[in-house]
Structure 1
């Protein structure tokens, strides 16, 4: 198939838009060699790589949750202490049950 036949049905008003098209320009990317991993250390062939069941995101969130909870400024109050001095507001004008 020639370039002219390929471009014949395309909606173009100016044929000069495609005048610099060359078939060889598309082959440059395919001639590149793929990148290959070359290890820098020798690991034993018997080594077994095991993937963890929990994802990295869940681990990250759990670590930050643990840090946040361990460094809380307020600790849970023991049961032996007196109850809070704060009392519920008893306004006569506001009655929830009405």
Structure 2
């Protein structure tokens, strides 16, 4: 059904309101389809999805705290001479300009 046919049967007190109406194809409103989730993996049908009760901010802060604690434990283990889980070389380098350091000292 076109717009002109739809408006034809409607009551109007002033027919001049519709005299400039044109069924223009360029004025069509685009109908946007909603986005749809397409899974990339097959999940088991008996899987139960639950939401976490913990606040997102609190969960993030706990994760940061745990990371900080684990890094400080590794650092303490390195100082005490205990072997570390992942042996990474130190980023610090020895100074090569020893003559300047002696002149700076009083």
Same fold (TM over 0.5): no
Q: Which TM-score applies when normalising by structure 1? A: 0.38
Question: Which has the bigger relative contact order, CA under 8 A and spacing at least 6?
Answer: 2
TM normalised by structure 2 equals 0.36
